[in-house]
Amino acid sequence: MIARLTYGARPGEHARVRALAPTEREAAARFIDEQLAPGYDDARADQAVRRLEALAEPVGELYEYQPALLRDQLADSTLRRAVYANRQLQEVMTGVWSDHFNIDISKGDCRWLTPAYLRDVLRPHALGSFPALLRAVVLSPAMLWYLDGRVNRRGSPGEQPNENYARELLELHTLGVHGGYTQDDIMEVARALTGWTVRSRGESRFGIGRVEFNAGAHDDGEKVVLGQRIAAGGGARDVHDVLNIVIAHPACARFIAGTLCRRFIADDPPAAAVDAVARTFATTGGDIPATLRTLFATAEFRAARGTRFKRPFHFIVSALRATDATTQGGRPLIVWLERLGQVPFQYPTPDGYPREAGPWLGTLLWRWQFAGALVAGRIEGTRVNPAQLVGRAGGERELLAHLLGRLPTREEETAARASRQAIALALSAPAFQLT
């Protein structure tokens, strides 16, 4: 359970959680409560990213920085928070939504707007309300830039609006490919989204990065979305009417439930689990914590072990956590994310990094090399103390058990004749690649 809700257990984490209650099931429930508690302390993670000062700047001030600096600091801060956060589920869900509402930082003004997107939109809403999250995403400067929403304007009679933003809103963000909408629905949503723009560097000296509604560029006529009428004259309210209609559609609950079940259960989750999660999503109005509680209570979640292949970011963070590594992050770790192919906010298409195992199986050689470099101290600014790990675990066999999540085989024990070898072997083992 800990492995699923987090980016991996630190040494001693299983014992700490088990001590929360008399029985394992009660302890698991306490751990879930702990992870969902809004005020749960995360001072260590905040301290770890404190020196990445550019990321704290207001949106307009981010334009004063070189894009390469912001790109690296964004990846660095995401990695450091995942390593050091106590509120692990917050970081996991921030990652889930980062893929679900993907942005490529290299596109246009996204080079400056993406850090604020993560800070002000995704992370604050990651464990809140899906409707609030969706509204924040849809009207965020970064997403308006990325999906061309800022250039979607009312045209002359006979001209079509830019449908890119509307299509991805329905297909990737809310209803899914088979969500029951038509091309006419896409065009009606596109009309409802006209008129929203973002002040850019070349257009204004003031208010750069600010979202504005231009009533003159908005199609204010009547619209029909998924069979529901939006009256003419709604202006800026049209976008909110569209989102209300889409969120209430049954396909939205099932689509989001499927997304969550694929992350926490398996690439192809059982229909019974998806149905249960979708019901809670629908009845609670998209309350994310309530939806997750239902997911974590399913028999399918409790039975799932070794059914999810760690993606590169997850693998690297879990290796750092499992070995209790100390890290200053920076380019030396970002380079490894680049080699394995998963740097945050650098996937070029709106669907985000692949969630299923297949595309990542080819990274195994790089994973083995990372494990060797980590335990050998060849990653600048990142250190592991093997002797301390063995001592805290109570021996090499016990350390292997912690890293593998099971007792080692005789062959694994024989191969791990020294502390560094034991750690590298465990991090390279098939069992460590799975959750």
196: three-class secondary structure by DSSP:
strand
pLDDT-based confidence at residue 402 (cuts at 50, 70, 90): confident
Lowest pLDDT segment from 134-143, 324-333, 388-397: 388-397
* DSSP β-bridge partners for residue 213: 196
Chain segment 276-310, per-residue pLDDT in tens: 999 999 999 999 999 999 999 999 999 998 999 99
Q: Please, which pLDDT band fits residue 427 given cuts at 50, 70 and 90? A: very high
User: For the packed helices 88-100 and 250-264, what is the interaxial angle rounded to 10 degrees?
Assistant: 120
- The percentage of residues in the chain with a pLDDT greater than 70, rounded to a whole number, is 97
Whether pLDDT at 106 is above 70: yes
Does residue 29 form part of some domain?
no
Mean of pLDDT values over 265-270: 97
Residue 415 is assigned to a structural domain of this protein: yes
What mean pLDDT value characterizes the chain? 94
Report angle CA 424, 428, 431 to the nearest 5 degrees.
125
As for how many domains the chain has, the answer is 1
Domain-located, residue 411 = yes
Q: Give the residue-averaged pLDDT of 146-165.
A: 91
* pLDDT confidence tier of residue 413, bands split at 50, 70 and 90: low
**Each residue's pLDDT tens digit, 10-34:** 999 999 999 999 999 999 999 999 9
Per-residue pLDDT averaged across 80-101, rounded?
Answer: 98
Quick one: pLDDT at residue 415? Answer: 53
In a domain, 381, yes or no: yes
44-60, pLDDT tens digit by residue? 999 999 999 999 999 99
Q: What is the pTM of this model?
A: 0.95
Gyration radius from the chain CA atoms? 23
Instruction: Quote the CA–CA distance of 89 and 96 in Å, as a whole number.
Output: 10
Length of the chain as a residue count: 435
With a pLDDT cut of 90, the percent of the chain lying above it is 86
Domain-located, residue 319: yes
Let me know if residue 325 belongs to a domain: yes
Locate all alpha helices (DSSP H) within 39-107, ordered by sequence.
43-48, 59-62, 67-84, 88-100
Residue 410 lies in domain: 312-433
Domain contains 66: no
pLDDT over threshold 60, residue 412:
no
Q: Does residue 417 surpass a pLDDT of 70?
A: no
Extract the tokens encoding 2: 């800990």
What's residue 159's pLDDT?
85
Residue with token string 């629908």: 282
Q: Does residue 364 have a pLDDT over 90?
A: yes
Residue 387 pLDDT more than 90? no
The beta strands (E) that lie in 87-132 are given as none
pLDDT (0 to 100) of residue 50: 95
Taking 90 as the threshold, does the pLDDT of residue 401 lie above it?
no
Least confident window among 39-43, 351-355, 398-402: 398-402
Helix ranges restricted to H, 328-379: 331-340, 364-375
Nearby residues of 183 by Cβ (< 8 Å), 6 or more positions away: none
Integer angstrom CA distances of residue 293 from 51, 134, 297, 298: 35, 20, 6, 9
The pLDDT value recorded for residue 249 is 98
pLDDT-wise least confident of 26-40, 117-131, 274-288: 26-40
pLDDT value of position 331: 98
Please give the pLDDT value at position 39.
77
Q: Output the pLDDT for position 271.
A: 98
Helical packing angle, 288-297 and 271-283, nearest 10°: 150
Q: State the pLDDT confidence band at 414, using cuts at 50, 70 and 90.
A: low
